[in-house]
């Protein structure tokens, strides 16, 4: 009670005293002393007695010079006007209660004109009640109760009688309390949730260790208890729940013989039994590491116990998942908010995932109502922010986290240290919020750390966990200090449990539990006086005396929880993801600018190329030697940006994913929303990159091909980023992995180190080595370079002819002479048995390759005996090939001349225009690379095979499985020839899909 309220009371007491002079002023002072003595020290008491005297003297003096009734009414109006400005309804009710008690006191001590005086003072009190805007029904009920006329109450359900046995049969609520002599009468004022009581009987009882006098009126506050030598305590929560019992469905959480133990450790939860009913709130307390969070994870079904049972209305938790789904709510200690969304958006999108059976308008209304209830409506459009970069306070943040669960109205609510890190005021608000949930009939269980005395007393039950997770106490918090002191044979310290103020120091429990033994020298030793196992034994003995549960299954309460379908979940997850990204201006700015900036930087740096035969400094694409480097860096940019934008996507949602796993939401819907967003973002990024890069470097006609390959590469990087984001639980590890993943892509792309120059254990002379084929950069870079050469507007006119011409020339100029040399070596050998087997093997291999398109069969090559006839047949065959190839080369030359002639005609035989046309599309350095002009080695013999080194883009691969030399223009799958662009595009997407499949499988099994 604050000073302002006390001052108003003294003034009103003085007015009532002035209007009733027949009562001795000393008797009135005695009433005030009795009223103040329980709550205030003597100096405060004496101070307000003097204040009362001053007001009495003032009103007596002022009333002499005016009409007394008019004066008093005027003063009362003035006082009440000030009260109404400053005092809330609940405190106004308390003022009225004190005034009616004062009225009762005055009428008790009246000796003359009692009836007349009583009517007068009642009228004054009634007038004050009206001025205070207190409902008439509340005034009538309080008055009837204080004057011990309980059966005159307008609503009998606001009355409660607690007694040993019900004497009269009435519809008034009754609690039968064993061994209770007399009766306690309770009145609940629902509008302000105040409970009053008085006792009628001759037994001795205490209210919070203070003597209760028969027929005196006492407020029954949160955490209060009535104790007596012959009875079990009557707790505030028991009385409150009786009032509410008719409004809530019977509901019970029963835990029996629960046991869980971690591997290679004694830590866990050992042999725990308790039961909670609808409307009860239990606090779990204990030192750090005793298993408080573990217990919550057992109770909410995240962890399965090794023994024992957890039952809800006698339905086993793990065996009835489908029936119990949605009944349990869990508020972890971790933050569950999307930082870039507003308060409303966080709650609304969460509601869409939990209330799939409601329309958008219904959900919106429900969200706004809850925000108003939790005092969050004023900030509903503020961005949540991070705990470090705050836009809302810590208390508001915690209330919003709680709202995420309350919106679906679970019947059991578990909370892991909901008040940790909050100010005392915010902690009080959170506790009041949970109390309101119990009033609605819900069961609330929470871990709590360092609760205030008032908050500690709010619990109906507390569970104390000791070393290694042994439960040592389950019961009412008010009685806990007494329990532990009784077991140790100690007296209760006044600092642990104060009779006057009602404060309870819960830390005393840990002090008592941890008390050490003393050795013979008087020094404390590490061994406890009472071990944790002995305390646990006391707990078990107490539990065995109680019946913890009913045996029959009861009807489960209805729930609002309803998951939307998988597609709707995908749409909601996508909306949440997009809204959060759009709200993060820095993210959007960086995501949209990184590709254009890199494209501009690379293209400007690489824009260099002039005609060496001309004095002009004009940039010409054909002479730009940096195009291969630009294409390579474009691939690396696509990989790097794709990795960076996806590497944190799942990691930063890990806390939210814990909750969504608890709600059994579809993980694939979440994952697909991430994948689809990243694919869309990569599409935009690569589009911007190609537009700017191609414009600056004047790359013509290759826009779609460049974009297609870079987009595919970026999508592969997205998949890799999501994979590492899902697998690893440290952002430091994730960003260390990014360069580890990028470096092999650089090294094994085929441009930094040539494949035939790699370590001898991985090198391959015929094809790209397998380690290279594992790199997306190899497929992307090859596709870009080959496509730039093959599909540019100039070269595509000649490509197929030049490819045929190149293969014929290679066979004519290099293969046939090499085979002739091998054949001559065989002829010059003196002994046919010592013929050079390598030469024969070379002939067999190469003639087989030449024979694929020419139907000639030389039988001797497949026999063990290589005779003169075979030699002659091979020689004749090679000579015939030589003649045929010469004819083919001439044909190719004529076809090329014909194409050139047509192109010249198109440009009116203007050679300069034709040259300009070629220079716009054809790049000399790209041609040098794919034709391998910088390497003077035309071929090599490796394992009795001729390995071609010159003009690899024209070479048709030997492998039927898609393997090929680097820069091959096509790949062979069986007898199907696919151009490199399509084949490499498919390979990149197969790598992407393979990565995504592994991601989906592992993500489904991942425990967050």
Mean per-residue pLDDT pooled into runs of 10, the chain (1008 residues): 76 79 73 75 84 85 72 82 82 86 75 46 84 89 88 85 78 85 90 88 85 84 81 83 73 92 91 91 91 92 91 88 88 90 94 92 92 89 84 89 92 92 85 85 90 85 92 88 82 59 77 84 83 90 68 82 93 95 92 95 93 86 94 96 94 91 92 97 97 96 96 97 92 91 91 84 85 94 96 94 93 91 75 63 83 60 68 86 92 94 90 91 94 87 87 91 92 92 96 96 84
Strands of 499-549 (E only): list them.
Answer: 516-518, 524-528
Here the tokens at position 167 are 């004497």
Here the tokens at position 64 are 């002499």
Closest by alpha carbon to 187, among 173, 178, 197?
197
Contacts made by residues 302-305, CB under 8 angstroms, sequence distance 24+: 302/330, 302/662, 303/260, 305/258, 305/259, 305/260, 305/269
- Give the per-residue SS3 of 39-56: CCCHHHHHHHHHHHHHHH
pLDDT number for residue 706: 97
Q: How far is CA 390 from the centre of its chain?
A: 18
Residue-wise pLDDT for 734-761, tens only, equals 989 999 999 999 999 888 888 878 888 8
pLDDT number for residue 858: 62
CA atoms within 13 A of residue 828's CA, in its CB half-sphere: 7
Here the tokens at position 445 are 């269980």
Q: Do 643 and 540 touch, CB atoms closer than 8 A? A: no
Cα–Cα distance between 780 and 635 in angstroms, integer?
7
Here the tokens at position 992 are 């992407």
pLDDT number for residue 153: 86
Cα–Cα distance between 376 and 370 in angstroms, integer?
8
Closest by alpha carbon to 665, among 844, 408, 397?
408
**Which residues are within 8 A (CB) of 886 and not within 5 positions of it... i.e. 6 or more apart?**
812
pLDDT number for residue 716: 97
pLDDT number for residue 864: 59
pLDDT number for residue 349: 95
Here the tokens at position 744 are 């092999």
Cα–Cα distance between 870 and 832 in angstroms, integer?
13
pTM, to two decimals? 0.80
Element (H, E) at 207: strand 206-207
Here the tokens at position 872 are 């002659």
Point out which residues pair with 446 in neighbouring strands: 283, 415
Q: Do 172 and 223 touch, CB atoms closer than 8 A? A: no
pLDDT number for residue 855: 52
| 536 SS3 class | helix
pLDDT number for residue 623: 94
Here the tokens at position 788 are 């730039």
| 617 SS3 class | coil
Query: 152 — alpha (psi -120 to 50), left (phi > 0) or beta?
Result: alpha
Beta strand 516-518 pairing with 470-475: unpaired
DSSP state of 390: B
Element (H, E) at 383: none
**Which residues are within 8 A (CB) of 277 and not within 5 positions of it... i.e. 6 or more apart?**
241, 250, 251, 252, 443
Element (H, E) at 256: strand 252-261
**Which residue's entry shows tokens 């079904």?**
301
Cα–Cα distance between 315 and 252 in angstroms, integer?
10
Cα–Cα distance between 922 and 903 in angstroms, integer?
15
Here the tokens at position 59 are 């009103």
Here the tokens at position 57 are 């003297």
pLDDT number for residue 964: 92
Cα–Cα distance between 454 and 477 in angstroms, integer?
11
Residue-wise pLDDT for 48-61, tens only, equals 888 888 888 888 87
Query: 174 — alpha (psi -120 to 50), left (phi > 0) or beta?
Result: beta
Cα–Cα distance between 957 and 34 in angstroms, integer?
106
Closest by alpha carbon to 62, among 50, 71, 51?
71
pLDDT number for residue 81: 86
Element (H, E) at 194: strand 194-200
Point out which residues pair with 269 in neighbouring strands: 260
Domain spans of the chain, in order of start? 3-134, 156-244, 336-409, 566-751, 801-910
Point out which residues pair with 729 in neighbouring strands: none
Cα–Cα distance between 419 and 399 in angstroms, integer?
10
Q: How far is CA 956 from CA 312, 875, 940, in A?
A: 71, 25, 17
- Give the per-residue SS3 of 560-581: CCECCCHHHHHHHHHHHHHHHH
Cα–Cα distance between 414 and 297 in angstroms, integer?
9
Residue 771, Cβ density class (10 Å: 0-12 exposed, 13-18 middle, ≥19 buried): middle
Cα–Cα distance between 671 and 365 in angstroms, integer?
29
How many other CB atoms are found less than 10 A from the CB of residue 1003? 22
pLDDT number for residue 113: 46
Closest by alpha carbon to 511, among 459, 574, 466?
466
Cα–Cα distance between 668 and 652 in angstroms, integer?
17
Q: How far is CA 424 from CA 419, 427, 451, 454, in A?
A: 9, 5, 9, 11
Here the tokens at position 729 are 């639980």
pLDDT number for residue 391: 85
Q: How far is CA 568 from CA 338, 385, 574, in A?
A: 19, 27, 10
* CATH, domain 156-244, list 2.60.200, 1.25.40, 2.60.120, 3.40.50: 2.60.200
Identify the sign of the CA torsion 492, 496, 501, 503: negative
Query: 179 — alpha (psi -120 to 50), left (phi > 0) or beta?
Result: left
Here the tokens at position 195 are 């409970």
């Amino acid at each position: 009670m604050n000073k302002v309220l006390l001052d108003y009371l003294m003034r009103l007491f003085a007015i009532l005293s002035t209007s009733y002079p027949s009562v001795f002023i000393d008797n009135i002072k005695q009433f005030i002393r009795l009223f103040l003595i329980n709550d205030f020290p003597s100096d405060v008491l004496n101070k307000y007695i003097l204040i009362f005297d001053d007001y009495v003297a003032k009103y007596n003096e002022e009333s002499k010079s005016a009409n007394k009734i008019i004066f008093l009414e005027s003063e009362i109006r003035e006082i009440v006007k000030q009260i109404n400005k400053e005092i809330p309804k609940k405190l106004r009710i308390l003022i009225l209660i004190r005034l009616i008690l004062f009225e009762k006191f005055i009428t008790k001590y009246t000796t003359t004109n009692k009836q007349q005086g009583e009517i007068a003072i009642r009228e004054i009190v009634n007038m004050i009640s009206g001025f205070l805007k207190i409902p008439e029904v509340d005034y009538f009920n309080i008055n009837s109760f204080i004057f011990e006329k309980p059966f005159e109450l307008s609503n009998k359900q606001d009355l409660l009688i607690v007694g040993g046995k019900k004497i009269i049969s009435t519809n008034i609520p009754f609690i039968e309390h064993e061994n209770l002599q007399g009766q306690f009468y309770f009145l609940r004022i629902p509008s302000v949730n105040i409970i009053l009581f008085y006792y009628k009987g001759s037994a001795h009882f205490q209210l919070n260790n203070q003597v209760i006098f028969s027929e005196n009126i006492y407020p029954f506050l949160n955490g209060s208890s009535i104790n007596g030598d012959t009875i079990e305590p009557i707790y505030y929560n028991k009385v409150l729940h009786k009032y509410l019992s008719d409004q809530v469905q019977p509901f019970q959480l029963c835990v029996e013989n629960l046991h869980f133990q971690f591997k290679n450790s004694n830590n866990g939860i050992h042999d725990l039994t308790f039961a909670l009913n609808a409307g009860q709130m239990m606090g779990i307390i204990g030192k750090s590491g005793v298993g408080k969070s573990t217990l919550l994870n057992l109770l909410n079904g995240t962890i399965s116990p090794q023994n024992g049972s957890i039952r809800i209305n006698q339905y086993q938790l793990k065996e009835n998942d489908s029936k119990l789904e949605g009944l349990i709510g869990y508020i972890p200690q971790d933050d569950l908010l999307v930082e870039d969304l507003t308060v409303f958006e966080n709650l609304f999108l969460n509601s869409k995932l939990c209330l799939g059976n409601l329309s958008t308008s219904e959900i919106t209304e429900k969200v706004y109502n809850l925000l108003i209830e939790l005092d969050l409506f004023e900030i509903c459009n503020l961005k949540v922010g991070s705990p470090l970069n705050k836009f809302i306070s810590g208390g508001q943040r915690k209330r919003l986290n709680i709202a995420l669960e309350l919106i679906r109205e679970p019947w059991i609510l578990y909370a892991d240290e909901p008040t940790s890190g909050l100010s005392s005021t915010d902690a009080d608000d959170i506790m009041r919020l949970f109390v309101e949930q119990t009033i609605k009939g819900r069961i609330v269980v929470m871990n709590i750390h360092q609760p205030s005395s008032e908050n500690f007393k709010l619990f109906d039950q507390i569970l104390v966990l000791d070393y290694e997770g042994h439960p040592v106490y389950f019961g009412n918090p008010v009685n806990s200090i007494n329990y532990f002191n009784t077991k140790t044979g100690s007296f209760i310290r006044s600092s642990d449990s104060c009779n006057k103020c009602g404060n309870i120091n819960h830390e005393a429990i840990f002090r008592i539990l941890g008390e050490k033994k003393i050795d013979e020298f008087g020094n404390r030793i590490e061994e406890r006086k009472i071990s944790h196992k002995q305390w646990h034994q006391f707990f078990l003995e107490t539990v065995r005396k109680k019946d913890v549960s009913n045996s029959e299954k009861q009807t489960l309460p209805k729930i609002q929880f309803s998951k939307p379908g998988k597609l709707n979940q995908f749409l909601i997850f996508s909306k949440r993801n997009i809204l959060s990204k759009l709200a993060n201006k820095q993210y959007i700015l960086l995501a949209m600018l990184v590709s254009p900036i890199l494209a501009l930087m690379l293209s400007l740096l690489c824009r260099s190329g002039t005609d060496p035969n001309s004095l002009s400094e004009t940039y010409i694409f054909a002479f730009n030697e940096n195009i291969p480097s630009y294409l390579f860096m474009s691939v690396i940019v696509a990989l790097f940006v794709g990795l960076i934008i996806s590497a944190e996507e799942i990691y930063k949602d890990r806390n939210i994913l814990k909750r969504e796993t608890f709600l059994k939401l579809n993980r694939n819907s979440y994952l697909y929303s991430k994948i689809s967003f990243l694919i869309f973002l990569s599409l935009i990024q690569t589009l911007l990159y190609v537009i700017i890069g191609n414009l600056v470097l004047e790359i013509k006609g290759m826009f779609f091909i460049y974009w297609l390959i870079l987009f595919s590469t970026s999508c592969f990087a997205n998949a890799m980023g999501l994979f590492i984001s899902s697998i690893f639980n440290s952002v430091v590890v994730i960003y260390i992995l990014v360069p580890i993943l990028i470096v092999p892509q650089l090294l094994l792309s085929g441009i930094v180190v040539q494949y035939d120059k790699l370590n001898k254990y991985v090198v391959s002379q015929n094809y790209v080595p397998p380690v290279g084929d594992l790199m997306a950069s190899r497929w992307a870079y090859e596709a870009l370079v080959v496509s730039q050469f093959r599909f540019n507007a100039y070269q595509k006119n000649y490509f197929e002819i030049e490819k045929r011409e190149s293969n014929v020339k290679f066979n004519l100029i290099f293969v046939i002479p090499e085979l002739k040399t091998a054949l001559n070596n065989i002829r010059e050998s003196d002994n046919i048995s010592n013929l050079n087997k390598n030469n024969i093997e070379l002939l067999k291999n190469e003639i087989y390759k030449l024979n694929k398109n020419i139907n000639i069969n030389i039988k001797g090559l497949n026999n063990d005996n290589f005779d003169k006839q075979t030699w002659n047949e091979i020689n004749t065959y090679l000579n015939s090939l030589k003649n045929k190839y010469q004819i083919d080369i001439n044909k190719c030359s004529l076809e090329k001349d014909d194409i050139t002639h047509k192109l010249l005609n198109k440009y009116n035989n203007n050679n300069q225009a034709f040259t300009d046309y070629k220079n716009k599309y054809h790049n000399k350095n790209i041609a040098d690379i794919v034709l391998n002009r910088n390497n003077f080695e035309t071929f090599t013999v490796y394992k009795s095979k001729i390995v071609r080194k010159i003009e690899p883009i024209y070479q048709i691969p030997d492998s039927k499985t898609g393997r090929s030399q680097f820069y091959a223009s096509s790949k062979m799958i069986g007898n199907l020839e696919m151009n490199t662009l399509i084949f490499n595009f498919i390979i990149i997407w197969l790598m992407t899909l393979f990565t995504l499949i592994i991601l989906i499988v592992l993500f489904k099994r991942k425990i967050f």
